Amino acid sequence: MTVHSIKSTRRSFLAGAGLVIGFTLAPRMFSARAMQGVQAGGDTALSPMNAFVKIGADDTVTVLSKHIEFGQGPFTGLATIVAEELDADWSQMRAVHSPADDKVYANLAFGLQGTGGSTSIANSYEQLRKAGATARAMLVAAAAEEWKVPASEITVEKGRIKHAATSKESGFGAFASKAATKTPPAEPRLKDPKDFILIGQELPKLDTVSKTNGKAVFTLDVTADNMLYATVAHPDHFGATVKSFDDLQARKVQGVVDVRQIPQGVAVYAENTFAALKGRAALEIEWDLTKAETRSSDQLTADYEKLFAEKGLAATNNGDVEKAFSGNGVQSIEAVLAFPFLAHAPMEPLDAVFVKAVDGSVDIYTGAQFPGMDKSTAAKVLGLDPEKVRVNTQITGGSFGRKAQFGSPYMQEAAAVFAATDGNRPLKHMWTREDDIRGGYYRPMYVHKMRGAVDADGKIVGWDQSIVGQSIMAKADLDETSVEGASNLPYDIPNLRVISHNTTLVVPPLWWRSVGHTHTGFAVETFVDELLEKVGKDPVEGRLALLSKEPRHIATLKKVAEMANWGSPVPEGRQRGVAVVKSFGSYVAQIVEVSVSNEGSPRVHKVWCAVDCGIAINPNVIKAQMEGGIGYGLGAVLFDAVTLGPGGKIIQSNFHDYRSLRINEMPAVEVAVIPSGEPPTGVGEPGVPPIGPAVANAWRRLTNSPVRRLPIVNVLSA
């Protein structure tokens, strides 16, 4: 229906250290028919200053975000960085998703385009400062030429270009198209951070308004004329495949257009979503379980525990652990901790819209966390040259890691659904919540065996930790993501051994908001708390004494203790717990206050949180991410597990049995952002790791029962 012809004219553009190759997009031919969906790269009528900055005749500055906006705030953060060096006014700033391009828009931490590891600000900071400064220099050059004055005499302030001596003044728009033709400076001058005007301010987020009036266009909201809607029937066992199916009843459902088998299951095509759902429900499918995972979660746990007897992969081996444990007067504590599979359950389930243009090229609208990978994957499945596939990243309803998948397995399915049609009708493929909860790519199950040794003087002298679970990176050797946070234990313990055992399951693993720290943070912070209790030390003072080489841990922990007035009397029936975890370069310490609820489960009343994430671009966004990380992590440790039942059938399927934290369970959260001149680091994930262990530590003090198995509430109810 739509003619989208895209031409990219590349030109050489150096921003700073040769990081950026810019390119411009020639205007596309839009169809005359209405379609709701946001094209990557933004309005093509705007003048591009470089790959990241476009300026409109109306003075608007549009930042092309190479990172997906799914709530963690890159639109606002990246636009702030550009606006700072551009000396723009905040009111003129806009942000859109960049096109998919693994070179131009590479995450400098990964080498390809992608969002993850809380790197959006960290990897873009210098790059976008340069992009902003470059655009500023080009605007100034254009104004100097037009006004016939030396560029050095021109100033820029709050979006106004001025020449004081001649009293000339202009907005950006008047010079935008001329500036776009200027040669960018090889090495634009960057501000001294002490002169920052916008960075560090709590600027209003750019995407808030459209998210309060229903106008933000998520992938699920993309619509095209004559669009088909498709759902896929999936097995309820991992590794199962379609043996046979009967679609007689499905085809009778009003609105069902077709039924096709695809590698991932059976696809139902319909004129609307409900018909696709009703048709899917009417399918009779026999699944082949020959290659399926048939062990239950309980069996898996037992199998995992057997691996403790094996040698494993040494992640860390400092000092002499065996000797430490056998020392004179040494006492030891042991604990085995079990962590379940966790689904990410973003509010917007996975979805994608495909629209074929008359030239055979395809526009894909989706929440692409790895857009380049989604693009090449879709191209392969569709049998197209990658140049003929455009990925238009949409505003996305959360991810928490779910949409960042190597090899783009979701896109493989979605593209297979589209490929099974003649492609002449646009198509929306949608997962239901059940597809999402049962779709795998979980935070893997892990089992940790902890041993700690304390000597006669009450000193922790040995730490021995074995971790069993899947390698997220599918490695045969040591996977850092399995041991991060443990192998580099921040505490001064002379004899430290961390062993990793990789397991192989059919259940596909994935990173889940804060990755390895989801379990290592819990294990380390609950176990150090128990050891400190054993030697009669205060949880805060005891940690501080063990952190002598970690000044930023110390500062964060001290700050949170000060906020909570640690040591002051705690209300009757409540206890406090503390945890401090460094993840993704950021340091987060939390203190929680917990009581036992009427239901007999932890009721978290209050969380104090201190975060050091280097230079704070937008403290309000940082606070929001801490609040969100706390709520997300708390819901998981209290309620969540995806369990394989007898025979390997997946038990949970939707929010009724995979519980989310709700407003009545949300603690009051108070966040302090520690001032810092260090380079900025991430905030999307680091709020998560400390909340679980902090709650578990408080719970242990309340009930005398340490938390050995998550989630807490399911286990209590058993």
Partner 1 sequence: MITFKLNGQQRTFDGDPDTPLLWVLRDFEKLTGTKYGCGIAQCGACTVHLDGMTRRSCITPIATVDGSEVVTIEGIEGKEAEAVQKAWVAIDVPQCGYCQSGQIMSAVSLLQMTPKPSDDDIDGAMAGNICRCATYQRIRQAIHDAADTMEG
Partner 2 sequence: MIRNITFTSISVCLVLNAVIAASNISWAQDKVAAKAVELKPVSTFQSITDEKQRSVALFEEAGKVIQHPRCVNCHPATDRPLQNLTMHPHQPPVTRGDGGMGVPGMMCTTCHGSENVPVIGQAETIKSIPGNPNWHLAPIEMAWEGKSLGAICAQIKDHERNGGKSIDQIVEHMGQDHLVGWAWNPGEGREPAPGTQKAFGELIKAWAQTGAACPS
| Token duo for residue 216 | 């933000």
From 158, 358, 655, 679, residue interacting with partner 1 (rule: CB under 8 A): 655
Residue 145 interface partner, choices partner 2, partner 1, none, CB cut-off 5-8 Å depending on type: none
In single-letter form, the type of residue at position 20 comes to V
Give Cα 68 distance to the centre of its chain: 9
Using the rule CB under 8 A, is 630 a contact of partner 1?
Answer: yes
Q: How far is the CB of 624 from partner 2 (least distance, A)?
A: 24
Choosing from 217, 335, 336, 420, the residue that interacts with partner 1 (CB under 8 A) is: 217
Phi, psi of 465 (to 5 degrees): -130, 130
Check residue 231 for interaction with partner 2 (CB under 8 A): yes
Stretch that binds partner 2, among 359-367, 374-382, 604-612, 708-716 (CB under 8 A): 708-716
Give all strands (DSSP E) within 485-585, no chain letters: 495-503, 575-583
Within residues 268-297, the interface with partner 2 by CB under 8 A covers 274, 277-278, 280-281
Among 246, 286, 599, 678, binds partner 2 (CB under 8 A): 599
**Which of 192, 664, 677, 704 contacts partner 1 by CB under 8 A?**
664
Residue 32 near partner 1 by CB under 8 A: no
**Using CB under 8 A, which of the segments 508-516, 547-555, 646-654, 679-687 binds partner 2?**
646-654
Binders of partner 2 among residues 63 to 102 (CB under 8 A) are none
Residue 441 backbone class (left: φ over 0; alpha: ψ -120 to 50; beta: rest): left
Residues 240-259 as x/- pattern, contact with partner 1 by CB under 8 A: -------------xxx----
Q: Which is nearer to partner 1, 436 or 479 (CB)?
A: 436
Rounded CA separation 84/81 (Å): 5
H helices within 180-257, ranges in order?
248-252
User: What six digits make up the tokens of 17?
Assistant: 């250290």
Contacted by 598, from partner 1, partner 2, none: CB < 5 to 8 Å by type:
partner 2
* Residue 448 backbone phi and psi in degrees, to 5: -115, 135
Residue with tokens 């018909």: 275
CA dihedral angle for residue 546, residue 548, residue 552, residue 556, rounded to 10 degrees: 40
Q: Least CB distance from residue 661 to partner 2, whole Å?
A: 12
Residue 105 CA to residue 131 CA, distance in Å, equals 12
Helix, strand, coil percentages, rounded to 5, for the chain? 30, 25, 45
Give the HSE-up count for residue 371: Cα atoms under 13 Å, Cβ half-sphere: 32
Closest contact distance (angstroms) between CB of 715 and partner 2 is 5
Handedness of CA 546, 530, 629, 574 (dihedral sign): negative
Q: How far is the CB of 718 from partner 2 (least distance, A)?
A: 4
The one of partner 1, partner 2, none whose footprint includes residue 281, by CB under 5 to 8 A per kind, is partner 2
Query: With binding defined as CB under 8 A, does residue 441 bind partner 1?
Result: no
Q: How many CA atoms lie within 13 A of 599 on its CB side?
A: 12
Residue 659 in contact with partner 2, rule: CB under 8 A:
yes
Between residues 217 and 277, which has the closer beta carbon with respect to partner 2? 277
Using alpha carbons, select from 509, 442, 503 the residue that is nearest to residue 476: 503
167 lines the binding site for partner 2 (CB under 8 A): no
Minimum distance from residue 254 beta carbon to partner 1 (Å) = 5
Instruction: Closer to partner 2 by CB, 36 or 254: give it.
Output: 254
**Residue 661 touches partner 1, criterion: CB under 8 A:** yes
CB of 437 vs partner 2, minimal distance in Å: 9
Q: What are phi and psi of 678, to 5 degrees?
A: -70, 155
What is the spatial order of strands in the sheet that 427-430 belongs to?
Answer: 256-262, 265-270, 228-233, 427-430, 351-356, 362-366, 389-393
Q: Shortest distance, CB of residue 645 to partner 2, whole angstroms?
A: 8
Q: Which stretch binds partner 2 (CB under 8 A): 72-80, 160-168, 580-588, 657-665?
A: 657-665
Task: Convert 114-138 into a string of H (helix), E (strand) and C (coil).
Answer: CCCCCCHHHHHHHHHHHHHHHHHHH
Question: For residue 556, what are its two tokens?
Answer: 């964060």
Of 24-32, 204-212, 258-266, 283-291, the segment contacting partner 1 by CB under 8 A is 204-212
CA distance 575 to 699: 7
* Binds 705: which of partner 2, partner 1, none (CB < 5-8 Å by kind): partner 2
* Of the residues 19, 420, 563, 651, which one makes contact with partner 2 according to CB under 8 A: 651
Asked if 299 is part of the footprint of partner 2 (rule: CB under 8 A), the reply reads no
In this structure, are residues 513 and 684 in contact, taking their beta carbons and an 8 Å threshold? yes
Q: Which does 703 bind (CB under 5 to 8 A by kind): partner 1, partner 2, none?
A: partner 2
Among residues 298, 310, 359, 387, which is the contact residue for partner 2, using CB under 8 A?
298
Residue 336 has which token pair? 């085995």
317 forms bridges with which residues in the sheet?
A: 497
- Widest pairwise Cα distance in the chain: 85
CA nearest to 394, candidates 4, 37, 113, 52: 37
Contact at 8 Å (CB) between 201 and 81?
A: no
**Hey, how many other C-beta atoms are within 10 angstroms of the C-beta on 357?**
19
- Element housing 511 (H / E): none
Question: What is the smallest separation between the CB atom of 706 and partner 2, expressed in angstroms?
Answer: 10
- Chosen from partner 2, partner 1, none, partner binding at 424 (C-beta under 5 to 8 Å by type): none
Q: How far apart are CA 6 and CA 285, in angstroms?
A: 42
- Is position 108 an interface residue for partner 2 (rule: CB under 8 A)? no
Q: How many residues does the chain have?
A: 718
Residue 718, interface with partner 2 (CB under 8 A)? yes
Q: Which does 643 bind (CB under 5 to 8 A by kind): partner 1, partner 2, none?
A: partner 2
Contacting residues toward partner 2, per CB under 8 A: 231, 274, 277-278, 280-281, 298, 301, 338, 432-434, 596, 598-601, 641, 643, 645, 651, 653-654, 656-657, 659, 662, 664, 703-705, 709, 714-718
Contacting residues toward partner 1, per CB under 8 A: 36, 70-73, 204-205, 207-218, 220-221, 223, 229, 253-255, 272-275, 277-278, 345-349, 395-398, 400, 430, 432-433, 620-621, 624-625, 627-632, 634-635, 654-656, 660-664, 666, 668-669
